[in-house]
Structures are given as C-alpha cells and as structure tokens.
Amino acid sequence: MSIAISSILLMSVARIWQILAHINLAPILWRSGDIVLALSLASILFGLSTLLYRFWPLYHRSVDAYIEPVVANLGWCDLIWLGLLPGIAEELLFRGIMLPAFGSNLLAVFCSSLIFGILHLRSWQYWPYFLIATLMSIVLAYTMILSKNLLVPILTHILLNLVSCLFWKYQKIKVL
C-alpha cells in the first residue's frame, strides 16, 4: 500500500510541476529500437548491480537494508506492482518533468540524479545504495536525453526493479 501511496504522491508532484511550469512531458514512443535499448540497459545495470552485490559487502548490506522491509512480506504478484508503480512514477517525475525543468543539460542530469539518489537514501549508513541509485539515475537521464523517449528510462526502471526484487526474494528463499 505504501508503494501505491508514494507513487501517487510522486505522480501528483510531477503533474502539478508540469502544469505550473508549463513543461511538456517527453514523448513515450513504442519504437522497437528503444525497447531493445531499454531491455539491454536493464540487463547491463542489473548485471553490474549483481556484481557489486556479490563483491562489495557494504553495498550488499545496503541493498538488503533497503529492499528487505519492502519486499520480504510481498507475494509474487505484488512484486509486479513494485516494479511498475515506482518505475513509472519516478521516471515521470525525475526524467519526464525534473530533467527538462532543470534544462536537460549536464547540470540538470547531475541535480535530478542527486535528488533521485537522496530519495533512495534510508540513512547515511547505507550510502552505497544512494551512490549506485544516483549513478543509475545518471545513466537513465542520459538515455532519456539521447533517445528523446521517456519510454526508455521507464521500461528500464520497471525491468530493473522487477528483476532485482524477484532475484533478491528468490535468493532469500533459497537460503532459508
């Protein structure tokens, strides 16, 4: 339920900001090349995150601390919503509204990504999760600028959330 509420809140902020600042939302285009780009990018980011999870103990603890309270008690079908809702809401706000509002340049990429990372920071004790979320946000922002298609970061984010949570939950069940 908290996922739905926070996603609605983020989408509301995005819509209000869009209206007040007269920002045109980037197009969401179903182009096959962009879908392949999103699938590839999600795979690469998931692979890198998995390597960091396995070989960087601080990141491992950070991921567990961030994901466990959210994912541990969810059913398998609930994980689909966990992939969809934040992926759509966060991308609409951070890449769809914030990035163009800040100018869609290097400074805009950095500022919007830093704010995105801060949103994913539970405490400074878990700074590696903040760092990786910020770096992934930079990749998503540049992908948005280069593709001129909001679908690319949305789909990448949804897939990354969904696959990461499924794998995390599978690994925890397997260990038990």
Per-residue pLDDT tens for 90-102?
999 999 999 999 9
Work out how many domains the chain is built from and give that number. Answer: 1
Task: Look up residue 120 and give its DSSP letter.
Answer: T
pTM: 0.93
The angle that helices 151-175 and 76-91 make with each other, rounded to 10 degrees, is 150
| Mean per-residue pLDDT over the chain, rounded | 92
Q: What secondary structure letter does DSSP report for 136? A: H
Average pLDDT over residues 104-131: 95
Q: What is the mean pLDDT of the segment spanning 109-132?
A: 95
Average pLDDT over residues 2-6: 87
Residue 113: give the domain boundaries: 2-175
Per the structure block, which two tokens stand in for 59?
């990141």
Token reading at 168: 């995390």
Q: Which two tokens stand for residue 45?
A: 């980011």
Q: What is the pLDDT of residue 175?
A: 45
